[in-house]
Amino acid sequence: MMHSSSINTRLWLTYTMIIFLVLTFASAGIIFAFQRSPLLYRQIFLRMDLVSNLLTDRLSFVINADWDPTIQLFFKEAELLDVQVAILDSSGTLLFHTMDYSVDQIPQINDPFTTAERSADRALVFNDAEKEDWFYQISQINDAYYLLVAARRPDVAIQSLFQDELVKPLLRTGLFALIGAFVLSWLMAEWITRPLRKISESAKNIAVGKYEKVPIEGPMEVQQLALAMNDMSQKVEKSLQSQRDFVANVSHEFKTPLTSIQGFSQAIYDGTVHNKKDIQHASDVILNETNRLNVLVNDLLTLAKLDAGTMSMTKESVELNRLMQSSIERFYYELEKADIKINPVFSDEIYLYADAVRLGQVFSNLIDNAIKYSIPGSEIQVTISRQGRQAMVTVSDTGPGISEEECARIFERFYQVDKSRQGGTGRGVGLGLAISKQDVEAHGGEISVSSKVGEGSTFMVKLPIEDATNK
């Protein structure tokens, strides 16, 4: 048993790997997003807003006084909050800036008024000559002067993200989601593999002759597989049963004539039969039973060839009405003897691409059965009609009819409706209709029966009408 490499384990590992990769990429995306998120710099933005609001108000009062000492004092306060500031005029010219704030770190602003409007609700970003990022915003002191407040954007360490009050709940949620996903993946794998295990078990049971139906469950594809397995199991069981019945029937059909042949041959050999009349009778029985065996063997060979697809057929253009008429004429003496008439109703000429010998044998077999089961003085209806691209042939008798149950089995090998005819004169072995069915299907057609007990039976043969010139 190789549970380590079972489909259940493989599915579970596959689901787990997919979930792990998804969570890994999602986590990486969240970390990257947090590194770029304004939430991480909210303390810087708060300090910038505080300095901007404070200095804008203060500077507006000393706008016409001596700026320099007052401005330097204010700038010292800004530096204590780790914020750099500068004063620009309305044209963007730099007038004052804090000591640690170099000119290269100050963005070039040509229109302070527009920039102030843009930075009113969010900080702008400037990349200086040393490729460092700075947050900055501009506020208006009065119509002539503007205050620029800036702070260097710090590099955020990844470990600091895990100290954020938003990241921790996300991590806990992700952990619970991972555990839940593992459990769910196992349940999904079990949901898929459980019916597969039952199908596997069913296959093993078939090998030992147990034909149990597999429950239809699981995903749609697995359900389809279970249906196919049940169908195959039923067909295998039916096929094996047919083989057993076939062997039993063949044995019986061979045994009966062989017993007669053996018995009469032994009688002649022992001298039990000594007068000419008895010897003639014994010879007739031996000859008839030998002929019967010959027919049986030929029928079995025909069925074997049809099953294997090796039956040699010489197909050519055949006119259906003439072929049926020829089949009817073969039974002239049998019809006279049985006092039965055939009423043929044919349509216009219908040409088929068919083997005239095999198709004629089908029609002969249907007519022969109709004669056997019709009462004297009755009439057999034979019709041929065109139905689109198909030809319909029907043979109807007024015999005892066939029950619905027997109709379903009428084309099985060795099946005989009238069991009382077994062993009697003119009996068959139940292969005629089975061979006829195979012959019709070999021509791309189908054969069926419609019957009602006490009213007779109608056998219907549908054959495709094909253009022989294209063959």
Domain of residue 237, CATH code:
1.10.287.130
Q: Say whether both 437 and 454 belong to one domain.
A: yes
CA 126 to chain centre: 59
Same domain, 306 and 319: no
CATH number at residue 88: 3.30.450
Of 323, 364, 311, 353, whose CA–CA distance to 443 is shortest?
353
Q: Which of 289, 311, 333 is the last residue of a domain?
A: 311
Same domain? For 179 and 242 the reply is no
3-state secondary structure of 210: coil
Instruction: Decide: 10 and 18 in contact? Cβ < 8 Å.
Output: no
Q: What is the pLDDT of residues 210-221, one digit of tens each?
A: 877 878 877 787
Contacts for 413 with CB less than 8 Å, ≥ 6 apart: 242, 246, 249, 303, 430, 431, 434
Question: From CA 84, how far away is CA 100, in angstroms rounded?
Answer: 7
The answer to the question of residue 431 being in a domain is yes
Strand order in the sheet with 446-452: 341-345, 379-387, 390-396, 456-464, 446-452
> Is there a single domain that holds both residue 63 and residue 18?
no
Residue 26: give the domain boundaries.
3-36+165-199
> Which of 311, 327, 362 corresponds to the end of one domain?
311
Distance CA 137, CA 180 (A): 46
Give residue 33's pLDDT.
62
For residue 278, being part of any structural domain is answered with yes
| Count of CB atoms situated within 10 Å of the CB of 402 | 21
User: Using one digit for the tens of pLDDT, what is the confidence trace for 360-401?
Assistant: 889 998 999 899 888 898 999 999 999 888 999 999 998 888
Write down the pTM of the prediction.
Answer: 0.49
Asked if the structure places residue 206 within a domain, the reply is no
290 lies in the same domain as 397:
no
Tell me, yes or no, whether 132 lies in a domain: yes
Domain presence at residue 379: yes
Q: Which stretches of the chain drop beneath a pLDDT of 50? A: 1-4, 420-427, 468-470
Same domain, 373 and 434: yes
* Whether 81 contacts 163, CB under 8 Å: no
- Give residue 406's pLDDT: 84
Task: Note whether 329 and 441 are same-domain residues.
Answer: yes
Residues 397 and 384 grouped into a single domain: yes
Number of compact structural domains in the chain: 4
> Does 266 lie in the same domain as 186?
no
204 within domain boundaries: no
| Spatial distance between the Cα atoms of 112 and 124, rounded to a whole number of angstroms | 13
- Report the CATH number at residue 318: 3.30.565.10
> What pLDDT, on a 0 to 100 scale, did the predictor assign at position 469?
46
107, 12: one domain: no
Contacts of 397 (CB under 8 A, 6+ apart): 369, 370, 371, 373, 374, 378, 380, 456, 457, 458
In a domain, 183, yes or no: yes
In a domain, 205, yes or no: no
Indicate if 338 and 439 belong to the same structural domain.
yes
DSSP code for 38: G
User: Other CB atoms closer than 10 Å to residue 52's CB: what's the count?
Assistant: 20
Residues 245 and 173 in one domain: no
